[in-house]
Structures are given as C-alpha cells and as structure tokens.
Structure 1
Amino acid sequence: MHTIEGSINTPKGFKAGGKHIGIKRKRKDLSIVLSEKPAVFAAMFTTNKVKAASVLWNMDIERKAGPIRAIVINSGNANACTGKQGMEDTKVMAQKTAAMLGCEPEEVFVASTGVIGVPLPMDVLVPGIESLAPEISGELQAGLNAAEGIMTTDTTMKILSLETEIGGKTVTLSGMAKGSGMIHPNMATMLSFITTDVAIDQELLRRALRKIGKDTYNMISVDGDTSTNDMVMVMANGSAENTIIDQEDNDYHKFYKALHHLNEHLAKEIVKDGEGASKFLEVTVDGAKTSEDARILVKSILTSNLVKTAMFGEDANWGRILCAMGYSGADFDPDKTSLEFSAAGQRILLMKEGLPISFDEDFAYELLQNRDISILIQLEDGNAKATGWGCDLSYEYVKINGEYRS
C-alpha cells in the first residue's frame, strides 16, 4: 500500500467534476461523481433523529441494496428541516443527474451541506447540474474541483489516494471529505466519499465500513454537535478486474487495511481543520476492561469543553481530564490511572497510578505550545485500547459560528 497523487476520480472507471453555480456567493458549490459501470456500495449515516432529505433518500436506496452509479453533492444549503418540498427537491436532483448521466434516479446518491432550514434554490441547482454533468472527466483537476465543491467552512481540501496489489492486480482507492464544525462522535458533521476499482462483495464492503467507521469517524470530535446531514459512502466498481473478494481472506484484509488507512486519514484531516482550532489532540486510553469502556473514556475527554479550553490556553490542567473520565460512565479504577502528555518527541508524566507527579510547569507550557498534542491514559483494568482525535475550543470557533449565516 502506498500513497499516490490523485483525486476522487483516480480509480479506474470513475469521472468527477465540480463548479460554482451560485448557491454560495463564491467558491465551488456543486460536485458530481460517476462510476462508468454499476458499483456496489456501503454507507453510514447520521444518528441525529432529524435527518436531511438527502440522507432519507440515500437510506431508502441502501435498503433496496441495488447498485449505484453516481453521487451529486451541493454545498451552501443543507436541505434539512424543509419538509415535503425538501424531499421533492432531493428527488429532482437525483432525477436530473440521472437523466444527464444515463442512469436511473435510484442509482444516484444525493448529499447536501450548509445552512439548515432553507429551501434549495432549484432554479440554480437544476441548470447547474445540466451545466456540470457534461464537464465531468477522469482528469486530476476535475477530481480536485469535485473535492472543492463539497466544502463549506473548510479551509483545506481533504483528499487521499492509495494503491495496493490484490490478486496480482493494482487496486486504487481515493477519498474526499468535508467537515470543519458540528463534528462529534457517532458520525461527525461531515461528508466523506470513497471510490475504488476493487471487485468486492457488497455485504463484505458494508461489514468493513461499519467496523472502520466505529474506529475512525465515530472517534472524532470538534464541538460535540452531531449534524443532520452526515454520511460516509464507498463505491466499488470492480474495474481493477481482481478476482472478486467474497470472503475474509488475505485479499480482504489487504483491502481492509487500505480502506481503514484512507478513512482514518480523512477523519484526522477533518479534525485538523476544525473551526478555529489551534490544537490537534490525539487521546489514547490503554489498559481498559473493554473496548467500549476505552472508547467512552476517549470520547468524554475529547468532548469536554474544560479540557478543550485548557488545551487552547496551553494549561497542563490534567485534573480536567480525570474529571471527564469520571463522569463518562465507563468502568475504570482512578487509583490505577496514569496520564502523560507528549508532543514533538517530548513527554511529561503528570499522574502515575492515581497519584499526582510533581512536574515542571514551564516545560509543560512549552510542550503544549505545539499544535499536535498526544494525551495517553494508561489504566490497569484490562487489555482494551482506543484512540480518538479532537481539537481545542478557541475564540475563533465562536466567531465563525456566530457569523455562519452572515
């Protein structure tokens, strides 16, 4: 497995494109991804009870379990809490995209991201789809345009392409994601799309994504808010012509490793671009009784506003971390807990087996001035381990979200 230069349309048999059509004042706001032949797929959706029209449309497609051909994504408008009209507008987006690409509406996933509670500007979207569809291609720049078209408050494109060898064939995986705010475990406020030319059984692909999502997208947090529009979706069209992966053999594990790496990278990129973030936090809990206990503890630390503000203030206030662990509901023994910070190859032990360690405050402050900071919690309760990623909470986050509709 190795990284290559590429974009969402780099795997064999995929085309893509993106452009500005006028939903947003500036920046690209419409993207299309097409598989030239039917693709199997796997998807995960927001756990928020309030789901956008696009999520409901896609969940219906998922239940039918047929192949899909395309994704159409608009940014600048979430089409959430828009009632029957929102559902009809999503259907029209799928119908128009299908008509332009020569497939069926039920083969088109739809995604929307942006402001909630505002009807889609269909007078802009429909001609926009008509304009963009003939322009999609396999060119690198077209794929980069698609990645830009899904961004909202993102400051960077989040993309990655990988190659691996499966059954003597070169298999390519590419991903693009967006997400910057309203990011929280159980699907962050994010969209993530992965394309691959591998040949794989659909149920195996779905099983892989469910497991990977639990350890990647469901282990990130920026601000504790879970959106109405979150989704991650993988399309696999078989164009690499490897022998189909239909069991959990060596080929499956090689593909799984590549897919996990791709999704973990995208998840981390979302957190690094967290709105107003000045710190990237990696929290690891090791030695927990169960994997679920470890995950709960990690998430509680990452979502604590007191921990996040301490990191923003570069304050080694480790008591806030223990406090967040204590109210998490996970089972652990505080009297056997050790805690340390590390950054840029340096580390500082703050607590060992339940007792505070005298430490150099100046050194701790210097260490916390780094952007990338690791927090390691060592328990003595078992052998389970979990890692998650988050960021600090800054003045800039409040400013960005206070002006979001302005």
Structure 2
Amino acid sequence: MRLGEILKEARSRLSYTLKELSAASGIDTSLLNRYEKGERHPSEKHLQLLIEHLQLDEDTARASWIGERIYALFSDDSHLFDKAMRVAEERVKYDRQKKITHEKSLSSELSDLLEECSRLQGIWASRKPLNQTQLRKMEEYFNLSYTYDSNRIEGNTLTLQETYLVVNDGITVGGKSVREHLEVINHTEAIHYLGEIIQNKTVFSERVLKEIHYLILKGIDRENAGVYRGIGVRISGSAHLPPEPYMLNPLMEQVFVYYKENKTVLHPVILAAEMHEQIVRIHPFIDGNGRTCRLVMNLILMQYGYPIANIKGELENRLRYYNALETAPEDQKNAFYHLIAETVIQALKEHIELCG
C-alpha cells in the first residue's frame, strides 16, 4: 500500500476526521489531505507524529515512506536505480558483517547483558503510548533522580529532597553554594534539551555536544561554556593525562567519524558507552565533562528508544564507575560496557515496573 492509503485507512479505523487529526497532531489539515492523496511526502517529523496519533506499525509506515522517497528520487533517472540499489545493498552487507564481527568479539556474559537490554527495551516499547499524566510523573521522578546522582558524582552536596526543592519550588537551600544550585538548575534544563533533540530527531553532532555543555556551565563559567578548552588539564584522582589543546579538534573529529560509522553497527548500549568513554577520555572541556558525557550517553540511548540510565552516585557505585573508566583503554572496555549495560537494565526494569 502507498503511504497515503495507509494513513487514510488508519484515520478511518480510528474514526478521525482530517480536522480532528490536525488538532491532535498539530499538522495542517491541507497538508494531511495532500499526504493521503500522495501529492506530498511527509517530513520525518510529521511521519513520526502520524505514526503516534494513528497508532501505525512503525516499520510498515517507515518502509512505505522510504520506498516512496526512493521512487521519487529515481522517477526521472530510472537507469540509475539498479546501480544505486546495488551500492546500498553492498553497504548494508558491509555493516551487517561489521556488526557480526563486533558481536563475536564480546564476552558471552556481556552478550547476555545486551540481549537482556534488547528484550526489556522491547517490553518497554510495547507499553507506549503512556497516559500523559503518567508519563509526566515518571519523567519528573527519573529526571530528578538523574540530576541528583549525576551532580552527586561530581561532588555536589545537595540531597535528593533539596534537589527537588530547587527544581520544583525554586527554593534556595541555606548553607549551599550558588554553584551547587546552578548545577541542579542547569542539569535539569539540559535533560529537557535532550527531549527536544529526540522530538525533533536532531542528529547528534559537535554542535549538539557543545550546546549540552553550554547548558551545564551556563551561569557558572560563561567564558568556557560550550567551548573546547584552551589549556592543558589534569583529572583529579586519575593517572590519565588528557591530550593537549591543539589535539582536541582532530581527536573530536575522529570521535564523530566513529559515531557515524558505527551508529548502525554497534548495539545501542555499546554505542552509548563508547561515546561516553571516548569523549570523557579526551576531556575536551575545562569543566563539566562528566555530566556532559553522561548526558550524551543518555541522548544516544533515548534515540534508540531506551529510557534515561542513571549511574548512581553513592560511593561504592561511584568508585566502580571511576575504575571502569580508568581501566577502559587497558581491558578493552569490558568493565565499562558491563557497568553501562547493567545500569540500562536496571533503568528499564524500574520504568516497566512503574508503568504497570
């Protein structure tokens, strides 16, 4: 079926008029009409809205959407179609073989953890769409815990209850520094920014990384917020010596090349862990690297339908986290992969349990 027929059939099944669907989705009525008639292709953002509001099978809808875009691309150059399809097929084969090779290199224990991540993610996905009130309450609960723990890892002394009061009531806690209050406010804003990125389907890039970091240091260090450092640094308690400033741009360019080459190859949990570990090892910013890298990790997880994975801030877990990062280059990163996979599994279990 053409995408337009799929949309019209689903709208009819739900007894929606075009006007009602427009009000629910925010898409103009005339555009919806043209989508159904096949006179225009939906943008990716509009497609996702239609999938959600018409309760479409995502794979079927996206396959039809991609197929029609391919047809439109080659309708005037049909002699190139077979050649282009062979190029695409070879690339898919290459990526699949690369993925198989990578998965074979993982330990059986880690493979089991990743399988459990995928299984639980499937269960979590099947519970959607959630009631809006329920979704909002869950987001508030988990986002608050994440802000509290991520700041706690970096030495922020605000308690969970104090963090709640700062975020929700705007209360200033006596005996706590202005910086600690700003760290809570900034981190909360950064989480909301991740939500905007997911909603808009923005591709993770250097610009996004710097914007996340800007939010983390906003009002704390205006000069260095969202800017790569211009001086050498040492990491307290670590033997690792981050690269000199002149090396940052080429190293970060390699990180984003790695991301582009592997985002369809690696398991999402491994990809998220890799991006966290690679960026934090380079330590591109003067301050706020840990918070920024954990946000990047969660952005990637969220892009693949996972909930926020919160690395707990209590001493024992914090030491395991630091040790896993410290030894990552020497042990092929397995300890860090294990930690992140276990954190993701715990997050999925908590989300599934709360949504019933």
* The two structures share one fold, judged by TM-score above 0.5: no
TM-score normalised by length of structure 1 = 0.23
Q: Which structure shows the higher strand fraction?
A: 1
**Which structure's residues are more often helix, by fraction?**
2
